Amino acid sequence: MNKFWIIASHTYLSRLKTKMFYISTILVLAFIMLMANFDSIIESFSGEGEHEIAVIDESEGLYDTLESSVADKDWEITQLTSSIEDAKQAVINEEYSALVTLHVDENGLPEATFYANNITDSQLVSDVQQSLQQLKVRIATEQLGIEQAQIMDIFSPIPFEKISLDSNSKSEEELNQARGIVYVMLMLLYIAVLMYGNLIATDVATEKSSRVMEILVSSVSPVTHMFAKILGIALLGMTQVAIFILVGFAMLQSRKSEVGGMLESFGLENISTTLILYGVLFFLLGYLLYATLAAMLGSIVSRVEEVNQVIIPMTFLIVIAFLLSMFGMGVPDSTVVTIGSYIPFFTPMLMFVRVGLLDIAMWEVLLSVGIMVATILLFAFIGAKVYRGGVLLYDKSTSFKDIKKALQLTKKG
């Protein structure tokens, strides 16, 4: 056991000191800070009241009504009495952001033409069009003798309550709370398995290419060495994730008033403790499954450059599991998701989707966990044999036939 912790701690500390760890951590932290302050950054670039729009009213009556309706917008309008050509030139000279000409049709309803140096600012175009649409509705209702309050009643959302008749089904509020945490956990599992699975395979291949592996496996059993590697990388991942969570939590606390609505909309304010525990359980099982597979695959290559090629099938499995889980977020009770939740490679994501969004029987959860544990133990048994023979393979890895070669070497040993 002492050798196990020596290998695990060495793996952890050696990776912790690498430049790649610091670079990847800094990049993710920068992304977290960017997302937490995204609205402030956008405002600093766009600025409030920056857009000033010139208006030429050919109807001689629409401008005053339009001016009152855009008083609360983050752009301003200015009426011009010059010719349209002069106004266009003013826009070209960047004196105004855009030019809008107003006129009425044969029914007395407003029409408009929008001029700008370019129309890539879709938000501004949409805002102006929406304001003019409201102006048209206002004039049309006045012509028909309909009051604004009546129009608001007509266009107000219909009261629509969703009630499940199944007593075991989750309520709409519970589903909203679950979707956010399910989505976050799926993303974490997907990224962690891809990143740290690759890291495990690379670390094993690096030791093998430097011939350090031959010394290690002569003094430590392959199972001990393999799982020490897996634990060491897992600790590294936990350290990195802990940093991300602490910084993210600090950012959320500092801007609680601004992001509170966003957290509520994603269902991340009142998170179920049971759901978090399920998330941690399936996260760990998924990591162990793919980490064991990655270590086994890393042992059959003789050069680090071959790692990416040999783990492609594993990557495909992770991608398929993630795509199925995204599909399952919309229809968690579908047959595909139900069957897939019992397939070990897909279980961590798909069963977590079902647990989060459905009220499923406990025996289903226990069955999926049992299948996962049995598969991990099977992979550990096979992986240890492949690992022991694989570290003695130094020919160029060409296919998964090398697994058979590794097993034959193990029997000879």
Could you give the 3-state DSSP secondary structure of residue 162? coil
Q: Can you give the pTM of this predicted structure?
A: 0.66
Average pLDDT over residues 382-398: 61
Residue 343's pLDDT band, with cuts at 50, 70 and 90, is very high
Strands 110-115 and 75-79: unpaired
Average pLDDT over residues 11-32: 83
User: For residue 394, what are its two tokens?
Assistant: 């130094």
Average pLDDT over residues 111-137: 81
User: For residue 281, what are its two tokens?
Assistant: 């359980």
Strand partners, 76: 52
C-beta of residue 97 within 8 angstroms of C-beta of residue 116? yes
pLDDT, one tens digit per residue, over 303-320 is 677 777 778 888 888 889
Cα separation, 19 vs 26, in Å, equals 11
Residue 359's pLDDT band, with cuts at 50, 70 and 90, is confident
Domains and CATH numbers, the chain: 48-155 (3.40.190.10), 171-412 (no CATH)
Which of 57-71, 112-126, 334-348 comes out lowest in average pLDDT? 57-71
pLDDT, one tens digit per residue, over 232-276 is 888 888 888 788 878 877 776 666 555 554 555 455 556 677 878
User: Could you please report the per-residue DSSP string of 91-102?
Assistant: HHTTSSSEEEEE
